[in-house]
Chains A and B, each alone.
Chain A
Amino acid sequence: MGMPISHIMASGMTGMRAAGDLVARMQFDKSMRIGEAKDFVAKKLGVSNADLSDEFVMREIREELDIGVITSVPGCAKGIAAKMNIEKLLGIDINCCDKFREITG
């Protein structure tokens, strides 16, 4: 149990605390190497690459863009709603969002 947390603290991008999920998504979606994925996401967010791991910077941006925040803020987009906003931000299609649109017509 402590091992993944140790990795996250030592070298991880800390997921939704900052922008780790967005960088990981571009690595998966477009097979981007780390530098390219960080450049891409930083440009979309209008921040520097170093800001992508900065919780102070990313907290406000995530709330503003409504792409999911780490704490439970009433009214903020969650789950698929947040992922639909991530689709728009990054210009990608996310499979479960496609399925949601299919179902809701």
Chain B
Amino acid sequence: MATEYFLRMGDGQKIFMTKEDIRADIEAGSADAADLGEIPAMSENEMDHMLDIITSPGRIVGVEPGLEVPVTHDIGAIRIDGDQGNSGVGIPASRLVGSMVHERAFGADTMELGHIDYSYKPVKPVISHECQTMEVCQQNMIIPMLYGAMPNMGLYYTPDGPFENPGDLMKAFKISEAQDSIFHAAEHGIRDMTWIMQKLQHVGSDGVNFDTIGAAGDGDMYASLNAIEALRKEFPGIYIEAGMAGELVLGMHGELEYDGTVLAGLWPHQQAPLVAKAGANIFGPVCNTNTSRTSAWNLGRSVTFTKAAVEASPIPCHADMGMGVGGIPMLETPPIDAVTRASKAMVEIAGVDGI
């Protein structure tokens, strides 16, 4: 009987497979990314290396000493005091305490402050409170401390916002009206994100993390890139991290451009140069996890997309490796065996500058 090795499905369930089957899944995942993105698949040596990582006998694996990279954080201290919706563990603590716990107890390389809703739009009514908390955090923290939130353009459409929902308009075949709605929402998003960060920079924030760019499609990315550009112009020294929501920018509008490039349909290696051009310091490429596939298939696909982005990017790439992205299983408590294997593969094969 052939030896079988344990690994995970994309939803986190433990499964057992032979080395040959795992290798075949790595190859198939890599080929899928290569086909979609028109980028090189992993080499034979790289696939063998990934196979060694996945079939490593230990429960936890790690990078070779000397290859460590900074780990930047999203969601902020909501991880400590938040509810399940933000994967929080519900420990009553201030955001300052949560941030200092990350710095002093967890060994985080950077930290960020985030509003409980974690979107930019709801920060506007409580901006003074956010500024006050940022000031107190900056007085006590030593590691780089950003402000983080999601552009989340969905909040600008009915029933949550002032602009007619482009999905409803499209269903009624009102395509140009839907495009207008997306464009107007994006203009408001640019204004809001820029205004919020102007306030936070004036009280000493190190910078900003745009988390899950493109979640509402190309309008979301259009708004984020223009907000990044405006902030870089006004604050030359601001730290800007720009992390994506998925590997593909969905063309909800279809014709929005940045710097002469149509945003719809961009893959990570095409997103990276635009993000750098807008003025970000760090790009966060994403590849979503398919829960019906194995972690070998997902990791093969994710590393292939990320490696191409790392090679095309003029700025550092910190791969997004939270729940359900970057080869990590899609559940709130991703198994440590799967996380550490994905982490090692992303550093040693994709060559990321951070996570």
Residues of chain A having any CB pair with chain B under 8 Å: 1-17, 20-21, 23-25, 27-29, 31-34, 37, 49-50, 52-53, 67-68, 70, 78-80, 82-83, 86, 93-96, 98-100
B284 at the interface (CB under 8 A from A): no
| Chain A residues, Cβ within 8 Å of B316 | 27, 31-34, 37
Which among B60, B67, B142, B282 is the interface contact of A9 at CB below 8 angstroms?
Answer: B60
Q: A13 touching B203 by the CB < 8 A rule?
A: no
List residues of B (72-129) whose CB comes within 8 Å of A's CBs.
Answer: 72-73, 79-80, 87, 89, 103-104, 106-110
Interface residue? B186 (CB, 8 A): no
In the complex, the answer to whether B107 meets A8 with C-beta atoms within 8 Å is: yes
Complex-state Cα separation, A100 to B138, whole angstroms: 10
Q: Classify the interface of chain A: helix, strand, loop or mixed.
A: helix
Known contacts A11-B71, A21-B109, A67-B142; can you find 5 more A-B pairs with CB under 8 A?
A9-B60, A10-B62, A12-B71, A34-B352, A96-B204
Distance from B299 Cβ to chain A, minimum over Cβ atoms (Å): 14
Judge whether A2 and B205 touch: CB under 8 Å: no
Interface size on B, residues (CB 8 A): 65
Please tell me if B328 contacts chain A, counting CB pairs below 8 Å: yes
Is there an interface contact between A12 and B355, defined as CB atoms closer than 8 Å? yes
Q: Is the CB of B344 within 8 A of A2?
A: no
Taking chain B's interface residues, is the majority helix, strand, or loop, or is none over half, making it mixed?
loop
Q: Known contacts A4-B71, A34-B353, A82-B142; decide if A10 and B107 are in contact (CB<8 Å).
A: no
- Asked whether B354 lies within 8 Å of A28 as measured between CB atoms, the reply is no
9 A-B pairs in the complex with CB atoms less than 8 angstroms apart: A8-B109, A10-B60, A11-B343, A11-B344, A21-B109, A28-B207, A28-B282, A79-B142, A82-B142
Residue contact A1 to B89, C-beta cutoff 8 Å:
yes
Which of the 9-residue segments B151-159, B171-179, B287-295, B334-342 touches chain A? B334-342
A20 touches B66 (CB 8 A): no
Q: Which B residues are CB-close (under 8 A) to A37?
A: 316, 353
The reply to whether B65 and A50 form a contact with Cβ atoms under 8 Å apart is yes
Chain B, 134-177, CB within 8 A of any chain A CB: 138-144
Interface centre among B239, B276, B282 (most CB of A within 10 A): B239
Partner of A15, one of B67, B109, B201: B109
Chain B residues lying within 8 Å of A80, measured Cβ to Cβ, are 138-139
